Amino acid sequence: MLKVYVINTRKIANKTAYSRAFSCLNSERQKKAEAIKKESTRLQSVAAGYLLYYALKELGINLKDLSFIKGTKDKPYIKEHPEIFFNLSHSNDYAVLAISDKEVGIDIEKLRPVRSPLVVKALGQEAADQLLSLPDTEQIMEFFRQWTMKESYGKYTGEGLISVLFENVGFSENGLNFYTSTAIEGYYLTICTPLQTEPEYEYITEI
């Protein structure tokens, strides 16, 4: 099983939809969301939490009946369902969730111009020189391809962003596969998983 749920955070921007989504969250995420002052960040948090509620509901599991524990690297797991793995990510107007029966990491990033210092810091000098030699549009796509691969790998392991350059999309490294998508206009998404199965996508359009 490898499924990705996607929601545009603007779907919960109005008061009614926000209240519905918020009511579906467990108390921990409700408290976390209430503590966020910036509206756009708060919407991301609530949207991500709603995706987890929605995905578990499809599996016949009530989010509010669950408790969460952290692994050795602080990655969260569901105490009552150790066979279920999940990972969340958000960027600007989108929140995404990957849920699987194997360990998984996911990252989504809004495509935008990048400056040379960031490219060097993220990819290393040699890779940055190669990327910056490309036309501007190709630079953006290639940077976020590599960036989301790194992020999804770091989230897969629980270690966060790491200094590793992956040369090809979809290759196996230590038994891992990377699946990418640009189906969300203006965004780049990558999933890291040991599964050799293309992810299934579900777009949430109503709360």
User: What is the rounded average pLDDT of the residues 184-204?
Assistant: 95
**For all residues of the chain together, what is the average pLDDT?**
89
List of E strands, the chain: 2-8, 68-70, 76-78, 85-91, 94-100, 105-110, 177-181, 187-193, 200-204
pLDDT in tens, 87-134: 999 999 999 999 999 999 999 999 998 887 878 877 778 878 888 888
User: What is the model's pLDDT at position 170?
Assistant: 44
Burial (Cβ within 10 Å: 0-12, 13-18, ≥19) of residue 83: exposed
Cβ atoms of residues 150 and 68 within 8 Å: no
Global pTM value: 0.90
User: What is the model's pLDDT at position 98?
Assistant: 98
pLDDT in tens, 137-167: 888 998 899 889 889 988 998 876 654 544 4
